[in-house]
Amino acid sequence: MSTVGAYLRLARAGWILVREGVVAAMPGDQLEGMPRFGWRVAKLMSRRRSARRDRPERLAQAVNRLGPSYVKLGQFLATRPDVVGHEMAHDLASLQDRMDTFPDAQARAAIESSLGQPVEKLFVAFDGPVAAASIAQVHEARVSDDNAELKRVAVKVIRPGVRRRFQNDLESYFLAAHLQERLLPSTRRLKPVKVAETLAQVTKIEMDLRLEAAAISELHENTRGDPGFRVPAVDWQRTGRDVMTLEWVDGTKMSNIEALRDAGHDLEALARTLIQSFLRHTLRDGFFHADMHPGNLFVEGDGTIVAVDFGITGRIGRKERHFLAEILYGFITRDFRRVAEVHFEAGYVPAHHDVAAFAQALRAIGEPIHGQSAETISMARLLTLLFEVTELFDMQTRPELLLLQKTMVVVEGVARTLDPHFNMWKTAEPVVSDWIAANLGPRGVLNDAREGLGALVSLARQAPDLAVRAERLSREIDTMAQNGLRFDRETADAIGKAEARYSRSGRLALWVIAAILVVIAWQIS
């Protein structure tokens, strides 16, 4: 029944997107055959009032009708322009995750269930909600510290029933991804099923506030000595699966430019601090806040930037950091051959492609940049063009790099709203050069040698166990070569049952689709 329900929920989502004019707003003039016919039918079935709205407004209206899980889906897909296209990603990025609040009684019940204590014992005072999103809402409260002094805290509480709702909708997302891979082979490079799996993992993390608290705690430690930037501290005694307590942040939202100016803050200095902090987190720590829009950034009275809402974070390994640094350095020095070689060395571009041809494509990106003033050159735009070119050379999707690119676009955009003449390259130079000196220069060679020596020592310790495994594997390969690969009866039965189940589900899906089409035809008749 879950498969049938997934088909029905998917059909409902498609119907709402059609009726709100989202499908009609897509560029369909270049389509041919059945896709063009479907696009024309969608235009005819759109509500008349949707024609008065632009595409972002239509999208927002449709997503709000579909529910909170689709808001989260839209925000997630905004980080994947390789999947939905850059224009649609831009539209999705504007979706506001603002929902109606739920009653205090339900919030109190969730807190008591998660922490095992009454709210009155945990907090001196517990006030009503101050903000609500698709997954949780935030309350203001007060606690007593060790010196018997009251301090304000922010309490984030999971929305009741949200896990079940998301689980049901995730079934529909996986169904859509499997259908896309089956019916549109050209899109398999984008790994839609993998995208759905990533979304499922992201939502699981967001719905366990202990994991978000752990991310906040890690970033809090990483940024403890950073100038002009900090992360709020976690109150672990009042944090559980369904509730998270943080120190209260008093400050001005970075989206309120006029208030920042009236408070006497140096906007140019704030822009520099923001970019340099983000680059430190990325290059130095390999762990960064991946949702740094102005609504998640506050400026305290002394000019310190405080980040909140860590539902989405990103990690990049040492190899990816090397990759990013060498790419940026190669474009700056116009060494396009080296940039191309870095892509091949990292295994991002298949080896059957020609390095020289790829370097030529990169030159088409890099040459227009040189000769421009630094203020007009966007690092985020450079990465966007880079990923567009790599698609022509079958570069496999790298979600961590795309999330980094999306975040850099947002952060650089915030910096330019603070300072319209913001020089990204000059601002980034101290952080990037320090990292290159430490990791790609002589110090980097020494660090690599030290890590290599550690790996050799670890390998030597495992040598006896590896030898036993190698001997066992050799015997099994010899046996397989002599007797062939054989399935036991249980394996053969399992394969047969899976095939039968697949055939039944396929037939069932056809009947469900047919029934849905009949219902739709009846509604519009």
Residues annotated as catalytic are: 291
The tokens of 195 are what?
Answer: 């995208």
Distances (CA, A) of 206 to 38, 99, 163, 201, 212: 36, 16, 10, 9, 6
Is residue 288 within 8 Å of residue 276, measured between CB atoms? no
User: What is the CB neighbour count within 10 angstroms for residue 424?
Assistant: 23
On whether the CB atoms of residues 416 and 374 are closer than 8 A, the answer is: no
- Which amino acid makes up residue 484? G
Mapping DSSP to helix (H, G, I), strand (E, B) and coil, where does residue 436 land? helix
Please list, in sequence order, all residues whose beta carbon lies within 8 angstroms of the beta carbon of residue 192, skipping any fewer than 6 positions away: 83, 176, 177, 180, 181
Q: What is the rounded CA–CA span in Å between residue 377 and residue 382?
A: 8
How many angstroms separate the Cα of 438 from the Cα of each of 150, 222, 320?
Answer: 45, 18, 16
**Element (H or E) spanning 485, and its range?**
none
What is the C-alpha separation between 202 and 221, in angstroms, rounded? 23
Neighbouring-strand partners of residue 137: 132, 157
Rounded CA-CA distance 490/3 in Å is 26
In DSSP notation, 188-255 reads GGG-HHHHHHHHHHHHHHHT-HHHHHHHHHHHHHHTTT-TTEE-PPB-GGG--SSEEEEE---SEETT
Other C-beta atoms closer than 10 Å to the C-beta of 378 total 19
SS3 for 150? Answer: strand
Instruction: Return d(Cα 137, Cα 92) in angstroms, integer.
Output: 22
Distance CA 266, CA 165 (A): 45
- How many angstroms separate the CA atoms of 303 and 289, rounded? 19
| Whole-angstrom distance, CA of residue 307 vs CA of residue 291 | 10
CB distance 233 to 221 below 8 Å: no
